[in-house]
Amino acid sequence: MHPKLRKWLPVLVLVAGVLATTGLVAVRPAADGRRPDVQAPLVKVMSVTPDAVRVDVRAQGNVEPRTEADLVSEVAGRVVWTSPGLEAGGFFTRGEVLARLEDADHRAAAERARAAVERAESRLALAEATLGRRSRLKDAGATSDAAFDEASSHARVAQADLRDARAALVLAELDLARTEVTAPFDGRTRRAQVDVGQFLTRGAPVARIFATDYAEIRLPIPDDELAFLAADPAWGPSDVAGSENEATGAERDGFGSRVRLTGRYAGREHTWEGRLVGTEGALDPKTRMLTAVVRVEEPFAAADAPLAMGLFVEAQIEGRAFEGVVALPRSALRGRDEVVVVDAEDRMRIRQVELLRVDGEQIYVAAGLEPGERVCTSQLELVVDGMNVRVLEAAEPSGAAGTSGAAGTSRAAGASRAAEAPAGAEDGEARS
């Protein structure tokens, strides 16, 4: 290439670029001066309708017998017979004979005691007859005072001997009766500890048994849940059971509240109904929980679903009723205690409310909302007070029926009415 051309080549390229750029700018299309049309977010709303809500309390616990004890032998003897009810898992009724001990020695002792009573009665009759003769002789002046006093003493000693003999007879007959080991209540055998041929001493254990007339479940309730119990936490089971009219007193004071128990037995889930009968009256200093006592009558009445001892159950305790509560989905809650209200001009207003309870997918508002207000239930990434929104057309409103629960709450009865979105409308659209 010629040296002069090589020198001017960069300048020519730069000039050509400037001319090309100027040409492109000259032929560019005219820009649209209108502002872009920005649509307001599309949101779902729920119309506020305060209603009465019963707040239930949930807890967990194990089924326990109301009474469990060691059945012991009250006399010594060799076991000669045992009842089928004494086998592990066997049922028995109150007063039923569960085991018999060899009673020959005790029968002999009872016979000797009866003989002793007869001797004492004979001696007493003789002493009283002697005393009568001495008394008549004394009145006639034919005997001394010393002879009369001696006869009187013999009569009193004979009376004492007779009482002693009769007491010994009672004990001997009791020991004879105790050779039959009987059940102290309707119950079931947890563990048998004797068999035929075994020699028992007085106080030796025969079996471990428990009562089956009713079962008890002790449920630890957190301190902040106590306000939702219908019962006074200071009351105990004896306060309810001791009332003249147990059913009326229990309902009046909140005890006797229904408790729904759920547990798995034999691979299937079953439910049982119990009653709240009291609390243990004192908070556990370590867990800060109060133990509620629930009673289930006849736990083994249903053969296909017995409430077995030791079964782990979940309990829903019928709690207090609250008026003027609004039930909303969890998606309506922002932060700790705020919701978004859509006003009549379709503008968002951030509102602080007083929460009664927060459940997994439901919240319950005690104050801060007025009837008829619309609460936004869509989860928006950005909320600005006063921001315009578009509200989905409302379908036929529906109530949120139920009761509240979960270590806290279940659904409230007819608390609010939801404005349902038309088919195909999603929360994702609301974020647009």
Q: Which domains does the chain have, with CATH numbers?
A: 42-55+322-423 (2.40.420.20), 59-64+213-317 (2.40.30.170), 71-102+179-211 (2.40.50.100), 104-176 (1.10.287)
Is 120 in contact with 165 (CB distance < 8 Å)? yes
- The b/e string for 68-100 (b: 16+ C-beta within 10 A; e otherwise) is eeebebbbbbbbeebbebbeeebebeeeeebbb
- At 67-109, the pLDDT tens digits run 999 999 999 999 999 999 999 999 999 999 999 999 999 999 9
- Pure H helices in 178-245: 237-241
- At 385-394, the pLDDT tens digits run 888 888 875 4
Is 340 in contact with 388 (CB distance < 8 Å)? no
Please give the full DSSP string across 20-65, using - where no structure is assigned: HHHHHHHTPPPPP-SPP-PPPPEE-EEE---EEEEB-EEEEEEEEE
The Cα 164–Cα 221 span in angstroms is 58
Q: Residue 276: pLDDT above 70?
A: yes
Tell whether pTM > 0.85: no
Q: Which residue has the higher pLDDT, 399 or 118?
A: 118
Of 114, 96, 104, the residue nearest 77 (C-alpha): 104
What is the band of 362 on the pLDDT scale with cuts at 50, 70, 90? confident
Kindly report which listed range (77-86, 130-139, 160-169, 253-262) carries the lowest average pLDDT score.
253-262
Beta strands 77-82; 199-200: pairing state: antiparallel
Average pLDDT over residues 323-347: 88
Of 292, 90, 95, the residue nearest 210 (C-alpha): 90
Please report the pLDDT score of residue 227 as a whole number: 82
Give whole-number Cα distances, 375 to 52, 168, 385, in Å: 19, 86, 14
- At 182-225, the pLDDT tens digits run 999 999 999 999 999 999 999 999 999 999 999 999 999 988 88
- With 0-12 / 13-18 / 19 or more C-beta atoms within 10 angstroms meaning exposed / middle / buried, residue 253 is middle
Instruction: State whether residue 137 is helix, strand or coil.
Output: helix
Q: How many CA atoms are closer than 13 Å to the CA of 356, on its beta-carbon side?
A: 32
* DSSP H or E run through 140: helix 104-140
Please report the pLDDT score of residue 37 as a whole number: 65
Give whole-number Cα distances, 343 to 361, 394, 398, in Å: 25, 15, 21
Q: Which residue has the higher pLDDT, 270 or 421?
A: 270
Structure tokens at 52: 């009465």
Residue indicated by tokens 């563990």: 191
Instruction: State whether residue 2 is helix, strand or coil.
Output: coil
Please report the pLDDT score of residue 417 as a whole number: 38
The one-letter code for the residue type at 27 is V
Q: Residue 343: pLDDT above 80?
A: yes
Please report the pLDDT score of residue 378 as a whole number: 85
Q: Angle at which helices 145-177 and 104-140 pack, to 10 degrees? A: 160
- With 0-12 / 13-18 / 19 or more C-beta atoms within 10 angstroms meaning exposed / middle / buried, residue 198 is middle
Q: Give the number of other Cβ atoms within 10 Å of residue 187's Cβ.
A: 24
Q: How many CA atoms are closer than 13 Å to the CA of 173, on its beta-carbon side?
A: 9
What is the band of 423 on the pLDDT scale with cuts at 50, 70, 90? very low
The one-letter code for the residue type at 332 is A
Q: Residue 141: pLDDT above 90?
A: no
